Amino acid sequence: MNITEKRNKNSTHIDECETKDILKIINQEDQTVPKVLDDEKILNTMTKLINEIVKSFQKNGHLIYVGAGTSGRLGVLDASECVPTFGVKPTMIQGLIAGGNKALTIPVEGAEDSLTQASMDLQKINLNKNDIVIGIAASGHTPYAISALNYANDIGCTTGSISCNPDSEISKYADFPIEAVVGPEVVTGSTRMKSGTVQKLILNMISTTAMIRLGKTYSNLMVDLQPTNHKLVDRAIRIISEAAGISYELAEKYFQESKKQPKVAILMVLCKLNRGEAEKKLRETKGRIADNIK
């Protein structure tokens, strides 16, 4: 039996507990999850995978997450959040879920068992050898995710996998398999819990680290965010103020002069450039502010 399907000895009497005690049990189990990612083997595998992702992006490649159920939803979530956070195109990081977008809110019966749908979904987005595909499957044996990796391998893509069982079936199809074993769930087999949490952590680490390596941050500031609403406009101005060491009012002036591009505004201040000069400098350094600061 897979570890993700085993019963958790710490929660066998959870149905007899009061509400606060249930919360304590869940929280105690959740606290064990991040420690799993301290494992050197996992970190080394993630490092190699992320380095390949960065190379792929530099060749105009794409990162594609593929999964079913919770795993698929988490992939779609991480991909969609990269757009406003790092200012990337929606096609740069994509999430595919068995059953299509309908499956984001309504389970699509039998979708995860398909051996052909994933290849068709990947063909629709014109997957090519410069892209990277990561299959996500808590159990490690979801046919939809495995068939996606099989297709990706056939056309020469670099592949990765994220699972929560040791020696997972999906790992056999990945160049860079990540097995984050978090143990049995509080509610037996409910992999939306600890397994889902560790998958979310891994996806955060993969996409964020890749974006940092691409110069999407300056220090730890998200200088490529898209200021698409009042909150994000305020955040963008505060980022310019913080990074350039100027007042909020002056930062707002540069924000407008840069045509609402925080990264450009910061370089305009720090290097005493006009907008065109700052944009040219950033193109020459592939968008990295730090490479322009002496």
Amino acid at residue number 43: L
Q: From the candidates 81, 242, 257, 277, give the one annotated as an active-site residue.
A: 81
Tell me how many degrees the CA angle 31-35-37 measures, rounded to the nearest 5: 130
List the alpha helices (DSSP H) in the chain.
19-30, 33-36, 40-58, 69-86, 117-124, 143-154, 194-213, 230-244, 248-257, 262-270, 275-284
Cα distance between residue 264 and residue 281, in whole Å: 9
Amino acid at residue number 195: S
The rounded Cα 208 to chain-centroid distance in angstroms is 7
Looking up tokens 């996409």 gives 207
Q: From the candidates 29, 112, 169, 252, give the one annotated as an active-site residue.
A: 112
- Helix axis angle, 230-244 to 248-257, nearest 10°: 110
Spell out the residues 6+ positions from residue 111 whose beta carbon is closer than 8 angstroms to its own. Answer: 68, 98, 99, 103, 117, 144
Please provide the DSSP assignment of 228-276 as one string: -SHHHHHHHHHHHHHHHT--HHHHHHHHHHTTS-HHHHHHHHHTT--HH
Among the listed residues 261, 293, 291, 294, the one whose alpha carbon sits nearest the alpha carbon of residue 279:
261
**Burial status of residue 120 (CB atoms within 10 A of its CB: 0-12, 13-18, 19 or more):** exposed
Residue environment code for 285-294, b if the CB has 16+ CB neighbours within 10 A, otherwise e: eebbbeebee
Among the listed residues 165, 159, 160, 166, the one whose alpha carbon sits nearest the alpha carbon of residue 191:
165
The answer to whether residue 81 is catalytic is: yes
The answer to whether residue 249 is catalytic is: no
Enzyme catalytic residues = 81, 112
